[in-house]
Every structure is written in structure tokens, then in C-alpha cells.
Amino acid sequence: MSTKEELHRLREWLVRHNYLYHVLDDPEVSDTEYDARFRELEALEAAHPEWITPDSPTQRVGASPLTAFAKVVHRVPMLSIRVEKDEGELHRRVLDGLGLPMDTEVAYAAEPKIDGVAIALLYEHGRLVRVATRGDGREGEEVTQQASTIATLPRKLHGSGHPELLEVRGEVFMTLAAFATLRARASEQDEKPPKNPRNAAAGSLRQLDPRVTAQRSLEFHCHGIGEISAGAWPQRHDTMMERLREWGLPVCPDAEVVTGADGYLAYFQNMEKKRDGLSYEIDGVVIKVNDLAWRERLGFVSNAPRWAAALKFPPREAETVVEGIDVQVGRTGALTPVARLLAVEVGGVTVTNATLYNFEELSRKDVRVGDRVRVRRAGDVIPEVAESLPEHRDPTSLPFPVPVVCPACGSPVARVEGETILRCGNGFACPAQRKEAILHFASRRAMNIDGLGEKLVDVLLNEGLIGDVADLYRLQDAPERIAGLARMGEKSAENLLAAIEASRERDLSRFLFALGIREVGEATAASLARHFGAIATIMTATEEELQGAPDVGPVAARRVLEFFLEPRNAELLNRLLAEPTTGWHRTGRPTRQDHPLLSGATVVLTGTLATLTRQEAKARLEALGAKVSGSVSSRTRYLIAGASPGSKYTQAQALGVEILDEEQLKSLLA
């Protein structure tokens, strides 16, 4: 057997056993044997990098970090499922909509309502070409590289008979075991742990660096299809899901087909009993008409299908006593009241603190120190005070006063028009905001200063070694003092100072995100960096000019403008920008310039490019004035076709669109 044949054999063996383990839950080999074969493939590919293909099992570790997420318009909207409080309403609605007698038996597909992130997978000729989040239901974000690191998500469908185009929909989630591991790792590294598995899954899927996503042990279950090309297809949901399962897509093992309202209510009650024994979080069940032709007849109302409904479990609750109310000050100055509770177990978790969200909510619920309250885990995860029980209240107790000054710095607080939140306007001069700002600046997704956790920041502030983020770059002058701090030593000090020095190389988009400007997340920061190219240009831009950057709306533009106009922020920026750096001042990408053939042209990408990722090609085309679209139309100027192009290639030929290969693309970009 030749080396190349051995490589193909190893890939097929690994794909098959990955399918048996993750999808069928029926492994035939030990983890040790699987890992040994995986290492064999890695060694072969290391010796022959020219043979590496995107669908190789070794390539799920992720590619280079992205700078932003491309927008994807869902051709078939990803609608929400209506939550029914009346458990028999769905059955009545179905019978009425179909004009059937009340004693008609209707089959329903029932499945757990997984607390995860909805995504859509687009396969062309059996190969995965795009993954998008649900977003607002009509437009989401492309997360293909991130989702491709999920072990249970096949890049190439198994078997045969695949439709030319197939969009599969499902849920990305994190198991409870993986969530516990992630929280433990965050605690060890003095990082803020994720609040719940759903937030952890969403945050992992939106990592700009797919290699981070690959470390998060995400799972995927499909629950339906959004779009399919013409051809024979099963007419029942259960047979449709079985077909997807045969093609290698994981389907929830707890899904069942039941009959009538009594059937799905029994399923609901059974899943409520089983939920604590599941490996993932659920907050209810989803019920759908099993017959796909009946679904077509029932149609949709507003933004939800008439043929489906969600039944939610009652929130997990317990009673306890409020021992005190603390006011926490966040990075943006928001004041949040938090109830300190007599420890109580809620849904298997010991709760000692519960959020009251804001002071309007605190007043509405009239929660007082000493009150007996009912506590629940919102979304089954975040502890919140559901209500106070005034019948048990001490008659001498008084309502909790709304603060007029910041508890951290004593500055006046105010409520911004249109907001329900009180804020301290003292900015970085407020010690609480200063601490949170430093932690955010040093976080992994921002400047990534490894080792600078909450406890060390407290020590540095208390010792007077730093007063804001700019002071971090003065620590190089005091290595002995750093080494002498509690929890430190010579080696730890060296590592910290090396991490601070390395942060000078972060690019403009990460620097903007690190500044902690309200409404400016990673994607907005990347868009601003790419559009303006230099920090000096952003700092002097008008509100209208800021809105000229893709996906920057009026609110974000106003927050950016306000941030740079604030004198204390301007002084801090001047000190930061005086530091010798290689990345903060400019994006490192070419600023936009008109290209005689690309400026204003609509360009579509399809297939796999050998020398560029899809995101890199998109960014470079946009820098030359092109508009990069996800679909071919009569307005498309060029189709860039890489290896294994999909249906877009055929559409472009039919419409007479000019098709360029990778070499021609490189000539254009040059």
C-alpha cells in the first residue's frame, strides 16, 4: 500500500469511528486506539503537507483568527417556536387548521428543548460550505471555521444520495461536564467564568480564533432542515431525521414520535423527570407535527410556525432569606443591586447571591434586607430573586434606598435618558470601574495579558503600582517590586512582564475592543479598524463618518464619539499611544482604495481557495471597494471559484456571470 493510500485509509477509519462514537453512541474501539491512529495521520500529513485537505479529521483544530464575522442572509428565515402555556393549545390549533375532527389522531415529533445556540449548516453536493448563526432569524453571522472544529459536525456527509443543496438546522451546545471544566480552567487562570452552558456555547462559537473554539468541546444535534433542492425526500419528520443520521449528522437520542396531546404531555412529564440525569441543560420540550405535508398546509403566523410549539418546564425555585443587598459597579459604571442570601440549594446548586438586575426591578419587587424571598435560577442557570414574601416581613423594615452616589468612589450617579440603569459617571477615576477596565483590557480576547487576573490586579492597585491600563507598561521599570508581591516570585514576575511586552503587538481591532467602549464588541471593533485603518482617524471621525463603517449603527457611533471626547479618556489614550508598539496605531490591513475593476462590483466566492481563507479573500476584496455577497444573482460581477465549487458555479454559468479562478483573483488583488 502506498503512503497516500495509507493516508486515505486512516482518514476514512477516523471519520467512521468518530461517527460511531459521537452520532450513534456505539463506539467499536477504545479512545487509546483512536488517539493512536489520529497521531499516525498527523505524522503522515506533517511529512506530506501537500496532501492535507480541509475535510481531514486533523483540520478541526481551527485556522487563523478572524477579524470579524461576515453577515449571512437566511433564504428561508430561521423562525422562533412559540411557547404555549396552555399545554393542549397546539393540538387544538393543528386540528382546527387542518379542518379535522377532534378525535383525529395526529403524530407529533417530540424532542428536548436544548439550551444552546441555533445554527444552519449549508451542504452543497454533500460538502459543508457554510455555517451561520440564527441572528435575528433573517440575518445571522458566518461561523464556518468555528463550527468546523465541532467533532460531531461532519464536513462531508456520509453515504450517497445527497441533494445538490441541503441546509440542516440544529443546536450547538456545551455539555455540563465540558462547562464544569471550562469554569475550573477560568478560575485557575483568574478569569471571569461563564455564567451558564448556553452563554459558554455562544461565546465559544463566536471566538474570532477558531482554535479557541476547538478547545471548548462543543456538541451539535440537528432538528430539521431549512432548504433543500428538488428531489425525493421523506414526508415525515422522523424519517427525515433518520436520513440525516445515516448521513452522519447527530440527532438527539431522546427524541420520540408520540400521538395526540396526551402523548406529548406524557413526553413532557417524562423529560421533566429525566432532565437532571441528562448530560446537557434543557428548559422544556419542542413538539412538531410529524407529517411534513400537514406542516405545509398549516403554514406560519407572524414569526412562528402553526405546526410547532415549545412547552417550558417551571423554573426551579426555593425560599430563603435576604441577609443584605450589595451594590456592584461594573466596567461601564452600571450599578447593579445584588442580594446576599442565606445559602440555599436551587436545582442542585448552592446559591448565596442573586441578581436584582436594576433599581427599578428592586423597587417593583420591593425586596428588603431581612425579607423571605423566592429564588429561582433564571433560564435554569442565573440565580435571581423572583419575588419577596411580605407576609413574613418584619414590620419595621424599610425599602432599600436608591443610591445617589457611587458606592465605590462617592461620585454622583445618574440615569441616562432611555435607560433603566443607574451609572457612575466618574469613568476610570472610579476604582471599581478602573479595576474592571484593567481586567477587560488584559482579557484573552482583548490584549491577552496572560497571568493578569483579578487578585493580582487588586494587589497592583493596592500597592499603587498601577492606576489605569497605561500604567501596565510602566511595570517593566520595577521587576523587583513585582517579584516581591504576594502570590508572585521572580519567575512569575518575568512571565507577567513578558506577557505585557507581547501585548504591544496586538492589532488595532483588539486594541479598540480592549478600551471597553460601550456598544463596541469584537466585531464592531474589527469593522472600525478595517474601515478607518488607523486609531488617529477613528479618534477624529464624526458621528456620521463612524456610521459609514459596515455594521456600525447610530448608538455605537455615538458611544465611540463620546468616549474619545471625554477628557480623561483622551489623556489615557495619549499615554497609551505614546508607547512603542507594532500594532495599536494601524490595522495592518490596507485601507480602502478604489480598484478600476472591483470598486462597487458584487463578488461571490465559492469552493476552497488554496492560498487564502474565505475571510481573507473577502477582506482584501472589500479593501479594494468590492461588495462580497453570499449568493449569485444577475447583479453579480464576478464569481471567484476555488476547488470543488458548489451550486453557485452552475448558477453563475446560467446567468452569464464572469468566473475567475484563484490565479485570476490573485492578479486582481495584486
Nearest-CA neighbor of 139 among 200, 82, 75?
75
AA identity, residue 15:
V
- Is the distance from CB of 603 to CB of 638 less than 8 angstroms? yes
Query: Alpha carbon of 481 to those of 451, 476, 583, 606: distances in Å?
Result: 16, 10, 29, 56
192 annotated active-site: no
Nearest-CA neighbor of 252 among 229, 291, 289, 278?
278
The C-alpha atoms of residue 447 and residue 470 are separated, in whole angstroms, by 12
Which of 113, 435, 618, 648 is catalytic? The answer is: 113
Cell of 185: 480552567
Cell of 575: 499615554
Question: CB-based burial of residue 429 (10 Å sphere; 0-12 exposed, 13-18 middle, 19+ buried)?
Answer: middle
Query: Which residues, other chains included, contact 106 with Cβ-Cβ below 8 Å and sequence gap of 6+?
Result: 91, 94, 95, 100, 259, 260, 289, 291, 294
Neighbour tally for 531: CB within 10 Å? 22
- Is the distance from CB of 198 to CB of 435 less than 8 angstroms? no
Neighbour tally for 220: CB within 10 Å? 25
The C-alpha atoms of residue 662 and residue 664 are separated, in whole angstroms, by 5
Query: Alpha carbon of 469 to those of 4, 34, 120: distances in Å?
Result: 53, 47, 40
- Is the distance from CB of 589 to CB of 669 less than 8 angstroms? no
Q: What is the DSSP annotation of 295-327?
A: HHHH-EETTEETTEEEEEPPPPEEEEEEEEEEE
AA identity, residue 541:
A
List residues with catalytic annotation: 113
